[in-house]
Chain A
Amino acid sequence: MHRIEVCIKRHLPDSYGQGLVKGISDLGINNVSDVRVIDVYWLDAELEREELELVCERLLADPITQDYSYDSAIKTIKEGMLHSIEVAYNAGVADPVEETAMKAVIDLGIDSVRAIKTAKRYQIMGNLDKNDMDVICSRLLVNPIIQHIVGDNPVVFSESPKYKFKLKQIDILNADDSGLNTIAAEFGFNKNEIQAIKEYYSKLARNPIDAELETLAQTWSEHCCHKTFKGKINFNGEIIDNLLKSTIARATKELDKPWCLSVFKDNAGVIEFDDKWALCFKVETHNHPSAIEPYGGASTGVGGVVRDILGTGLSAKPIFNTDVFCFGNPDMAYEDVPEGVLHPRRMFKGVRAGVADYGNRLGIPTGNGAICFDKRYTANPLVYCGTIGLMPKKYSQMGKQKAGDLIVLAGGRTGRDGIHGVTFASEQLDKDSTEVSFSSVQIGNPIVEKKLIDTILQARDKELFVRITDCGGGGLSSAVGEMGSETGAKVYLDRVPLKYAGLSYSEIWISESQERMIMAVPPDKADELLKLFADENTEATVIGEFTGDKRLQLFYNDKLVCDLDMEFLHEGHPQLELRALWCKAGVLEPRDEYPDIEQSLLKILGSWNVCSKEWVIRQYDHEVQGGSVLKPLVGKNNDGPGDAAIIRPVLDSDMGVVISNGINSKYSDIDPYWMAASAIDEALRQIIAVGGSLERVALLDNFCWGNTNKPERMGALVLACRACYDMSIAFGTPFISGKDSLNNEFHYQDTTIAIPDTLLISAMGVIKDSSKAVSMDFKKDGNCIYIVGNTYNELGGSEYYKSIGYLGNDAPKVNPQQAKKTMDNLSKASEKGLVKACHDLSEGGLGVAVAEMAFAGGKGARINLGKVPLGEKINRDDYILFSESNSRFLVEVAPEDADNFEKTLGDVAFARIGEVISMNSLQVFGIKDDIILKTETEKLKRAWQKPLEW
Chain B
Amino acid sequence: MNKTRALVLRAPGTNCDVEAAFAFETAGADVSMVHIGELIRRDKELKDYQIMVLPGGFTYGDDLGSGKVIANEISVKLGDDVKLFVENGCLIIGICNGFQILVKSGLLPDPAALNKIQKTTLTNNDSGKFECRWVNLKVNPDSKCIFTRGIDKMYLPVAHGEGKFVADKEALNSVDMAVQYADGNDVPTMSYPENPNGSLNCIAGICDSSGRIFGLMPHPERFISGSQHPRWTGERLREQGDGFKIFQNAVDWIKHL
User: Contact: B12 with A447, CB < 8 Å?
Assistant: yes
User: Contact: A446 with B37, CB < 8 Å?
Assistant: no
Question: Across the interface, which residues of A come within 8 angstroms of B12, CB to CB?
Answer: 447, 450-451, 536-537
User: Contact: A620 with B19, CB < 8 Å?
Assistant: no
B63 within 8 A of A: yes
A-contacting 9-mer, from B1-9, B203-211, B217-225 = B217-225
> In whole Å, how far is B238's beta carbon from the nearest beta carbon of chain A?
11
Name the interface residues of A628-647: CB closer than 8 Å to any CB of B. 628-631, 633-636, 638
Question: Across the interface, which residues of B come within 8 angstroms of A181, CB to CB?
Answer: none
B47 within 8 A of A: no
Question: Across the interface, which residues of A come within 8 angstroms of B58, CB to CB?
Answer: 360-361, 363, 446-447
Given A623-B219, A629-B227, A779-B234: A64 and B118 interface contact (C-beta under 8 Å): yes
Question: Across the interface, which residues of A come within 8 angstroms of B231, CB to CB?
Answer: 634-636, 638
User: Contact: A363 with B15, CB < 8 Å?
Assistant: yes
State the CA gap A30–B24 with chains docked (Å). Answer: 53
A871 within 8 A of B: no
> In whole Å, how far is A797's beta carbon from the nearest beta carbon of chain B?
32
User: Contact: A446 with B230, CB < 8 Å?
Assistant: no
Main SS of chain B's interface residues? mixed
B35 within 8 A of A: yes
State the CA gap A654–B228 with chains docked (Å). Answer: 12
User: Contact: B69 with A774, CB < 8 Å?
Assistant: no
State the CA gap A363–B222 with chains docked (Å). Answer: 13
Given A360-B58, A624-B15: A618 and B133 interface contact (C-beta under 8 Å): yes
Given contacts A447-B61, A626-B228, 20 further A-B contacts (CB under 8 A): A15-B124, A15-B125, A16-B128, A59-B69, A59-B72, A64-B120, A64-B167, A96-B61, A100-B69, A107-B69, A107-B76, A107-B77, A360-B130, A363-B58, A447-B60, A537-B12, A626-B16, A630-B233, A633-B230, A774-B233
User: Contact: B222 with A623, CB < 8 Å?
Assistant: yes
Among A57, A360, A624, contact of B117 (Cβ-Cβ < 8 Å): A57
Given A100-B61, A101-B63: A777 and B234 interface contact (C-beta under 8 Å): yes
Among B10, B77, B130, B222, contact of A626 (Cβ-Cβ < 8 Å): B222
B237 within 8 A of A: yes
Taken residue by residue from 124 to 139, chain B's Cβ proximity to chain A (1 for < 8 Å, 0 otherwise) reads as 1111111111100000
Question: Across the interface, which residues of A come within 8 angstroms of B15, CB to CB?
Answer: 361-363, 450, 624
> In whole Å, how far is A436's beta carbon from the nearest beta carbon of chain B?
31
> In whole Å, how far is B188's beta carbon from the nearest beta carbon of chain A?
21
A121 within 8 A of B: no
B13 within 8 A of A: yes
B141 within 8 A of A: no
Question: Across the interface, which residues of A come within 8 angstroms of B80, CB to CB?
Answer: none
Among A16, A356, A535, A635, contact of B130 (Cβ-Cβ < 8 Å): A356
User: Contact: B132 with A621, CB < 8 Å?
Assistant: yes
Closest to B168 in A: A64
User: Contact: B133 with A651, CB < 8 Å?
Assistant: no
A13 within 8 A of B: yes
A445 within 8 A of B: yes
Scoring B72, B120, B168 by chain A CB atoms within 10 A of each residue's CB, the highest score goes to: B72
A-B contact count (CB 8 A): 177
Question: Across the interface, which residues of B come within 8 angstroms of A108, CB to CB?
Answer: 72, 76
Closest to B193 in A: A618
Question: Across the interface, which residues of B come within 8 angstroms of A620, CB to CB?
Answer: 132
Given A64-B166, A100-B64: A58 and B72 interface contact (C-beta under 8 Å): yes
A695 within 8 A of B: no
B50 within 8 A of A: no
A-B contact pairs, 5 of them (CB 8 A): A60-B64, A64-B123, A109-B76, A626-B221, A626-B224
> In whole Å, how far is B140's beta carbon from the nearest beta carbon of chain A?
22
State the CA gap A773–B128 with chains docked (Å). Answer: 34
Among A445, A634, A648, contact of B61 (Cβ-Cβ < 8 Å): A445
In the complex, the 8 A-B pairs of residues with the closest C-beta atoms, listed nearest first: A363-B15, A626-B19, A15-B128, A100-B63, A775-B233, A64-B121, A97-B63, A447-B61
A935 within 8 A of B: no
Among B13, B16, B219, B234, contact of A361 (Cβ-Cβ < 8 Å): B13
Among A618, A633, A777, contact of B129 (Cβ-Cβ < 8 Å): A618
User: Contact: B129 with A625, CB < 8 Å?
Assistant: no
State the CA gap A202–B18 with chains docked (Å). Answer: 58
Taken residue by residue from 542 to 557, chain A's Cβ proximity to chain B (1 for < 8 Å, 0 otherwise) reads as 0000000000000000
Question: Across the interface, which residues of A come within 8 angstroms of B168, CB to CB?
Answer: 64
B38 within 8 A of A: yes
A804 within 8 A of B: no
User: Contact: A618 with B131, CB < 8 Å?
Assistant: yes
Among A59, A536, A619, contact of B132 (Cβ-Cβ < 8 Å): A619
Given A97-B64, A103-B60, A638-B134: A18 and B128 interface contact (C-beta under 8 Å): yes
